[in-house]
Amino acid sequence: MKNFKLFILLLITITGFNSCSENEDTMTLLPVQTKQITNLHAPQSGGQGQPVSGDFVKFNFTTGETTIDNKEWDIAFRGTSIIINGGVSLGTNDEPNRNGEAAVYIASGNMASVTDIDTTSFLQDSQSNYAILTGGGNGWYNYAGPPTHLITPIPGKILVFKTHNGLYAKVEILSYYKNSPSQPDAFIDGTPYYTFNYVYQPNQGVNGFE
């Protein structure tokens, strides 16, 4: 039994060394993660002239899931606003404090064409603006105005994020309406239900998504 334990230990050590040496030789990295999140529900209260409130729904790219942790989150959603865990709070009601190094910029292209990361373009939330500007046409969405009042993601806009712990992810938002209807109706379909595709680069120090 003792020998067996020793054998296991030896085996682990050897494979460990092996993998280490392999890493050094051919730079084997963790695979890039591609995932779709559907119907992430992030309601807000107030709006339309009234103060906005309600909890932001936080999301962590590493786990690929929403979280209630106050530190380990990358981006958070409330209504049409998307904030990042980096910079300073705009000071709205119920807005979480920033304690990470997250940042963002909006690239033109699609998920396939945005492969490099331009680290000089990153912005963080500030006292006057979120890094992803709100308002139709300013950030990630268009607002159709009357009569349809539809909120639709601007095609060709890829949100490139730096996570709270310095890794990268790119996001294409697909829909703001529940179950991503092909002909959304702002008066019938539930909001805000985010559906988005993302690609996460889990390797530290790799400035790209390939």
Partner 1 sequence: MLNNSYSFLIILITLISSLSINSQEKDEAFKDSTEIQKLQEVVVSVTKIKRQLSSLPLPAQIISNKEIQNTNSIRLSDLLNEQTGLITVSDFGGGEGIQLQGLDSQYTLILIDGLPLIGRSAGTLDLSRINIGNVQQIEIVKGSSSSLYGSEALGGVINIITQTPKSGFKSSLNYSLDTFNSHDLNINLSSKKKKLGIILFINKHTSDGYDLLSDDFQQTVEPFKDYTLNTKLTYSFSEKTLLTVSIRNYLETQNNVASKSLAGKSEINEWNNLFKINHFFNKKFESTFEFYITKYQAEEYLNDLNGNLFSKNYFDQALLKSELRSAFSINKKHAVIGGIGLTSEQIDRMDFIDAPKFDSSYIYLQYDGYYNNNTTLIVGARFDNHNVYNSQFSPKAALRFKFNNSFSIKSSIGHGFKAPDFRQLYFNFSNATVGYTVLGYNAVSKIIPQLESAGQLASVFIPVSNFNNELKAENSISYNIGIDYKPSSNFKLDINFFRNDVKDLIDTQIIAQKTNGQNVFSYYNVAKVFTNGIEFNSYWKLNNNIAVSGGYQLLIAKDKKTKQDYKNGNIYARLNPFSPSFQLNKNDYFGLFNRSRHMGNIKIFYNVPKWNLQANLRITYRSKYGLSDTNGNNSLDKYDDFVNAYSLWNIAINKTLNTKYKLGFGVKNIFDFKDSQNISNIAGQLIYGKFNINL
- Contact residues for partner 1 (CB under 8 A)? 47-50, 52, 79-81, 90, 108-113, 128-129, 133-138, 142, 144-146, 149, 152-157, 172, 174-175, 177, 180-182, 184, 195, 197
Nearer to partner 1 (CB atom), residue 52 or residue 167 = 52
Could you tell me the smallest distance in angstroms from the CB atom of residue 27 to partner 1? 29
User: What's the Cα-to-Cα distance from 109 to each of 10, 71, 115, 154, 182, rounded to whole Å?
Assistant: 50, 31, 10, 11, 22
Could you tell me the smallest distance in angstroms from the CB atom of residue 174 to partner 1? 5
Could you tell me the smallest distance in angstroms from the CB atom of residue 62 to partner 1? 23
Nearer to partner 1 (CB atom), residue 80 or residue 201 = 80
Nearer to partner 1 (CB atom), residue 108 or residue 121 = 108
Nearer to partner 1 (CB atom), residue 64 or residue 156 = 156
Tell me: cis bond preceding 202? Omega within 30 of 0 counts. Answer: no
Q: 12 CB contacts (<8 Å, ≥6 apart)?
A: none
Could you tell me the smallest distance in angstroms from the CB atom of residue 202 to partner 1? 22
